[in-house]
Each structure stands twice: as C-alpha cells, then as structure tokens.
Chains A and B, each alone.
Chain A
C-alpha cells in the first residue's frame, strides 16, 4: 500500500494562476481532509469529505475548491492564486478509526 500520495511535491505559482493539488489514497478510506500549514504554525483544515460526492468546508476554505468523484481521489483546486496561499498543503485520510494518515505534503509558493 502506498498510503496517501500527493503531487506535486513543490510548485511555484504566479499571482492569479490556478492549479490543482492531487491527493490519492489506496486504503479505501471514506474520510479525506485537506490542511494547510503556514510557517511556524499548526495545521488548519481547508476542506474535508466524508465520502464520494460529499464535501464540506473547514476552517479556512476561501480561495479553494474540492471535489470527490471517487473514494480514492480528493483534489484541491486553487483559483486565482494569492501570496497568502503560500503554504505547505497536507492531504489526509481516515478509515473507521480515529487516526488520520497524512500524505508527504506539497510546498506551494505564490509570487
């Protein structure tokens, strides 16, 4: 099992550009999450999903969109990138237990 994979690992965007951060899990987990981690801070929840076709906003959803068409995939879309979105983005998934399994993260810089 690969667990939770994220692509790309690194990305530099110009202000106003758009991109999609990919997240895939092979553990058949229903629950998936997107977090951002700003320098020197903890993680903040952007969006989450309780199953295919069902998503909901977290603490900091503005400027982002998600979709969940399959159990495995949970992409995060950034529209009109802004410098405030410079961060490390983590995707996580959870099965029936309490532990969330994290991907390796995507480091995004918006210039």
Chain B
C-alpha cells in the first residue's frame, strides 16, 4: 500500500478563495508526523506545516492549516485566502520512526494553480 496518497494531480482555485488539498496516509507506527511542503516553479522545497500524531489540536501556520483526522488517516492542507504566489506543487509527507532513524516518505504532489 502507498504510504502517502495524494489523489488530486491538479487543482484550480480563484484568488482569495480557500482550497483544500487532500492527503491520506498509511502507517502502523503509533508515533508519526505529517508535513506539507510547497515547491514553486523555481524548484526549492519550502516547509509549510507539521502535525504530530499525538498533537491534540490541528496545526495552523498563518493561512495554512492542517485538517488532521486520525481515524480516517487523512491530513488535508487548507489554504485560506489564496494568493497568486500560492501557485506551486504541494507535497504531503509522513515521518515514521523516532530519533535519528526517522524516515520521511513523500506523496506525488498536487499542482495548485491560483486564478486571478
């Protein structure tokens, strides 16, 4: 089974609207974490947000929030008030293991395009 599944190859959103990017995961490790990274066309990987499996509250960072539903094994990224600069590839990733031996697995990404 895929460890990280992103089922939306591409998404469009109107500027100033909110958008949800889907991510489901599969792990038997009780301690894990979920990340979202942004990759603009320039190619760099930009960290957006992190959610630990034991965190009680959903993570938020500015306009980004992570809708963590543990029982459904989903970790969707919500971007509020979309901006043209949000157009990019978005990758969901999962950390398993602990300490230094933790490994991170990435999904195949969702391409988001913000329309003026």
Query: Residues of A with Cβ closer than 8 Å to B?
Result: 30-31, 33, 35, 40-45, 48, 50-51, 56, 58-59, 88, 90, 92, 98-102, 104-105
Contact = CB atoms under 8 A, between A and B. Distances in A.
Given A42-B106, A45-B104, A98 B33 contact: yes
9 nearest A-B pairs in the assembled complex, by CB-CB distance: A50-B100, A42-B106, A102-B45, A43-B106, A42-B108, A99-B47, A42-B107, A31-B100, A98-B33
B33 A44 contact: no
Contacts, number: 51
The prevalent SS among residues of B at the interface is strand
Interface string B89-116: 0010101000111011111110000000
Contacts of B103: 45, 48, 58
Contacts of B91: 42-43
A100 B106 contact: no
B25 interface: no
Contacts of B107: 42
